[in-house]
Chains A and B, each alone.
Chain A
Amino acid sequence: MSAAAANSLYAGRRRRNAIAKTLALAATIFGLGWLVLILGVLLFHGLSGLSLAVFTENTPPPGAAGGLANAIIGSVIMTVLAVIIGTPIGILAGTYLAEYGRHDKLSNVVRFINDILLSAPSIVIGLFIYEVMVAPMGHFSGYAGAVALAVIVIPVVVRTTEDMLTLVPDTLREAAASIGLPRSLMIMRIAYRAAQAGIVTGILLAIARISGETAPLLFTALNNQFWSLNMNAPMPSLPVVIFQFALSPYEEWQKLAWTGALLITVTVLALSIFARSLTATRKQ
């Protein structure tokens, strides 16, 4: 090979390298650009409609002014109930995977199924709860909405609990066993305490996940124009109200939808940043 050919080969490789690097940078800017763009638009539209009335007044009939108070309280109630139902099951199942059956057959199956549930389409969860709760009860209800959300909470909590318990060093467990601590106490007093921050992170991430979920609520909790704390009746929620209002032709409704979207996004981002900071400080 002549020196010139070798040189041109080398130049070509360098050029390809430079092109690839530029493309990578461009792709990153492109990817992050969406985040900036979406948040920017959301702030712009959402802030203009933000006022005290949003938190104190109920969703208005078409063409009137109002707020989102009933939707916010509905979301909060259903989210809290979903976490109360889902978290204990999730933590216990995660405990089984990490402490009792680390390598047994059941655990492998549960782990696989849990991963499937983790990314299963949430609308299918809604259909499931409709079939087992709404149809037999004969009406939509806040309970059904909360249970649907709980089904989404469980796999998230199972996963993080297992991961976090697996990170607890076995020497801690052995030390506890050597002073005669029964296994259940070892798990509750030692392993849980060591994995505390991680488990809380998992719960927070689960809350973040369900506070924006719309699809599973559409035909479980349905919606309600009025202030309602009755969980046995249709219950309004922020995401479903956003869905209904955004697709409506009324300007007041669309404005409220944007404001609601801003509220949800701020909540979700704050929760996930807080959750991350919990585990981040522990790592150092």
Chain B
Amino acid sequence: MGSRGRDVSEVALRDANVTARESSSRAAVLRRLRLNDRIFHGLTRGAALTVLALLSGVIIALIIGAAPALGTFGFSFLTSQSWNPVTEKFGALAPIYGTLVTSFIAMVIAVPVGLMVAFFLTELCPMVLRRPIGIAIELLAGIPSIIYGIWGLFVFAPFLQKYVQPFLIDTFGSIPILGTLFEGPPYGIGMLTAGLILAIMVLPFVTSISRDVFSAVPPVLKEAAYGVGCTTWEVFRNVVLPYTRVGVIGGFMLGLGRALGETMAVTFVIGNAHKVSASILAPGTTISASIANEFTEAVGDLYTSSLIALGLILFFITFIVLAIARYLLARMNRLG
């Protein structure tokens, strides 16, 4: 009995010790957990702020880098066509012009084609084929731009030079105003070629975003239109398109943003001529192609700074286009 009683009390004593230890360690554990919680929260917040810092860093670095050139040339940097490393006279007009023209050609082709592909995928395509075709289009978007570039240089440009451009020159060259667009010899490389390659690159973007917003249309709207006897095309034209207008335009802007900033594919086939030509067959240059071609060879601070100033202009243009795109797409999502 005696020994057993001692045992019990010892056990009780031990238990009390354990509980005391446990409760103090529980408090420690809770403190540690709270601390961990705060650290993790801080880390995630810091990472989110890093994203902000990156963008501000890009803008600040570009402005600082561009300052010497913009300070020297002032507003005439935007309006001057000369690009002369020897006399150190630089103007951004030709690259800006080339960027706008090639992107415009790209959008003129990619927008209607992309819309029609999205129309096919959402309304006409047999169900079994929808996923594979959708994936194939998205793979087209994933191919790196340098691949388009090398293909454009060795395959597409010679093809255009041999078959398409002579045809364009013969057909339209003699028409008074339109003819200036197709003046000059068929070089193969040039603004038209760059624009066409951009069109191929932008097409998947336009298609996949259009497809996404089209499939967000409530089926009941389409069913109602079919119910009153609309054809498939009329449903698309009068119900789907108006309903998704905002989102579709957002998709165009996103594609345009990509076309404006695209570098490698264009660099291969644009021809790198710093001049503004009315003919789209003529070689030209774009902002990104100028930077890619000349940056490592640029000697002198003013030359480098001028190229960075080009980058700043490009960033400014794409920022606005992308901001509009995101705003429109966000509005579309709220609707849908």
The yes or no answer to A226 lying at the interface (CB within 8 A) is no
Partner of A264 from the list B48, B137, B144, B231 (CB cut-off 8 Å) is B144
Give Cα distance in the complex from A27 to B150, angstroms.
24
Contacts of A28 in B (CB 8 A): 116-117, 120-121, 125, 133
Q: Which among B51, B257, B322 has the greatest number of chain A C-beta atoms within 10 A?
A: B51
Give Cα distance in the complex from A61 to B39, angstroms.
53
Partner of B311 from the list A90, A123, A214 (CB cut-off 8 Å) is A123
Contacts of B37 in A (CB 8 A): 182-184
B154 touches A31 (CB 8 A): no
B222 to chain A, nearest CB (A): 15
Contacts of A239 in B (CB 8 A): 144, 146, 264
Whether A258 touches B124, Cβ cut-off 8 Å, given contacts A100-B45, A110-B48, A185-B33, is no
B136 touches A35 (CB 8 A): yes
User: Of B6-14, B87-95, B166-174, B290-298, which binds chain A?
Assistant: B290-298
A243 touches B146 (CB 8 A): yes
Contacts of A13 in B (CB 8 A): 231, 234
Contacts of A264 in B (CB 8 A): 144, 146-147
Give Cα distance in the complex from A265 to B140, angstroms.
11
B311 touches A17 (CB 8 A): no
Partner of B207 from the list A31, A182, A212, A268 (CB cut-off 8 Å) is A31
User: Of B16-24, B59-67, B175-183, which binds chain A?
Assistant: B59-67
A219 touches B41 (CB 8 A): no
Give Cα distance in the complex from A222 to B207, angstroms.
35
The yes or no answer to A16 lying at the interface (CB within 8 A) is yes
- Where chain B touches its partner, the secondary structure class is helix
Identify the closest chain A residue to B205 (Cβ).
A119
Contacts of B113 in A (CB 8 A): 27, 30-31
B288 touches A121 (CB 8 A): yes
Whether A132 touches B116, Cβ cut-off 8 Å, given contacts A92-B46, A121-B263, A268-B144, is no
- Mark each residue of chain A from 1 to 32: 1 if its CB lies under 8 Å from any CB of chain B, else 0: 00000000000011011001101111110111
Q: Which among A131, A208, A242 has the greatest number of chain B C-beta atoms within 10 A?
A: A131
B146 touches A131 (CB 8 A): no
A38 touches B147 (CB 8 A): yes
Contacts of B140 in A (CB 8 A): 31-32, 34-35
B220 to chain A, nearest CB (A): 22
B144 touches A127 (CB 8 A): no
B120 touches A27 (CB 8 A): yes
Question: What band does the interface of chain A fall in when counting residues whose beta carbon is under 8 Å from B?
Answer: 35 or more
Partner of A123 from the list B144, B151, B291 (CB cut-off 8 Å) is B291
Partner of B52 from the list A34, A92, A113, A254 (CB cut-off 8 Å) is A113
B231 to chain A, nearest CB (A): 4
Whether A184 touches B124, Cβ cut-off 8 Å, given contacts A128-B57, A214-B264, is no
Docked complex: A111-132 residues within 8 A CB-CB of B:
112-117, 119-125, 127-128, 130-132
The yes or no answer to B326 lying at the interface (CB within 8 A) is yes
Contacts of A183 in B (CB 8 A): 37, 40-41
Q: Which among A88, A121, A242 has the greatest number of chain B C-beta atoms within 10 A?
A: A121
Contacts of B47 in A (CB 8 A): 88-93, 95-96
Whether A20 touches B236, Cβ cut-off 8 Å, given contacts A31-B137, A115-B322, A116-B319, is yes
B168 to chain A, nearest CB (A): 19
7 additional contacts, CB 8 Å, given A21-B233, A41-B155?
A91-B47, A110-B52, A123-B288, A123-B311, A254-B154, A257-B150, A272-B142
Q: List 12 A-B contacts (CB under 8 A).
A: A20-B119, A21-B232, A23-B116, A95-B44, A119-B257, A121-B262, A124-B314, A125-B58, A131-B65, A218-B295, A247-B153, A269-B142
Q: Which residues of A contact B (CB under 8 A)?
A: 13-14, 16-17, 20-21, 23-28, 30-32, 34-35, 38, 41-42, 45, 88-93, 95-97, 99-101, 106-107, 109-110, 112-117, 119-125, 127-128, 130-132, 151, 154-155, 158, 182-185, 187-188, 208-209, 211-215, 218-219, 222, 239, 242-243, 246-247, 254, 257-258, 261, 264-265, 268-269, 272-273, 276
5 A-B pairs with the lowest CB-CB distances in the bound complex, closest first: A212-B144, A121-B261, A92-B47, A27-B116, A184-B40
